[in-house]
Amino acid sequence: MGSIEDKQPAIAYDQGAMAAKWMQQLGINADLAPVVDVHTVDPPVLESRMFGNTPTTVATYAGAYIKGLQQNDVIGCLKHFPGLGAITSDPHGGLPTVNRSMAELESIDLAPYKLMIQKDHPAMIMSTDVLMPAIDPTLPAELSQKTINDLLRKQLGYDGVVITDGLYMQGISEKWSLSQAAVLSIIAGDDLVEGPYSASQVANVVAALKQAMQEGKLTMDRINQSVQRILLMKVQYGIIKY
């Protein structure tokens, strides 16, 4: 018999597995969870959504939870990349800034992703509305090529699906329209856009993407990269058959 500490990750796994079964009964195939932000400031903005205050604890419990989801055929999603554990304001109401050095980010905020990308094979990762000057001093993470293409894709080696956080949140919307933000996010390396929730908003985003391609800001090759990642994920999780 193991100790209670040994059993606790199993509880997280069971919660993920149970959530997956409930979701499947409702016809839902993806869960935008688990949160892998590391609790490092008080009072934490996302306290009830974080697994702990060390990267190892977070990776252990979030890893168990995402295994519970994905081993039961529901897509999991690590979030919020590159990390919201040190924010002091709600990103829904403005763009939070995390003024950590790159060394601090590597050892704290990015550490769960380093541990989990290879070990737990997350189907998706959500990028978010946060400014980290050590990575990119000008653009929020989800709109930043330095953050998505250079850091997440090239340095951390992630080639799964990246979905944006809500592009309607104030940290984005006070500077960019939904359509502008969507184009920037795809250029940055994101694959799925979260934000347009009406037919007219979707139509505007599609039109903006087409215009960006006509102007040479986006290429068909770049679009095809995302389409391939999304289709591979859908095949892997039985959403489409071949």
93, 98, 187: which is closest to 149 by C-alpha?
A: 187
pLDDT of residue 45: 74
Q: Which of 92, 109, 129, 136 is catalytic?
A: 92
Q: What pTM did the predictor assign?
A: 0.94
**Does CATH place domain 4-236 in 3.20.20.70?**
no
Q: What is the pLDDT along the chain (242 residues), one digit of tens a residue?
A: 344 345 689 999 999 999 999 999 999 999 999 999 999 987 667 777 899 999 999 999 999 999 999 999 999 999 999 999 998 877 778 899 999 999 999 999 999 999 999 999 999 999 999 999 999 999 999 999 999 999 999 999 999 999 999 999 999 999 999 999 999 999 999 999 999 999 999 999 999 999 999 999 999 999 999 999 999 999 999 999 87
Joined together, the tokens standing for residue 197 give 């929730």
Half-sphere exposure of 51 (CA within 13 A, CB side): 25
For residue 78, CA distances in Å to 33, 110, 128, 154, 239 come to: 6, 12, 11, 18, 20
Please say if 92 is a catalytic residue: yes
Enumerate the β-bridge partners of residue 127. 81
Residue 152 · residue 125 · CB < 8 Å: yes
pLDDT of residue 43: 67
pLDDT of residue 150: 98
Domain ranges across the chain: 4-236
pLDDT of residue 6: 54
pLDDT of residue 93: 81
DSSP E strands in 146-192: the ranges are 161-163
DSSP E strands in 3-115: the ranges are 77-81
Q: Which of 31, 109, 120, 165 is catalytic?
A: 165
Measured distance CA(55)–CA(109) in Å, rounded:
7
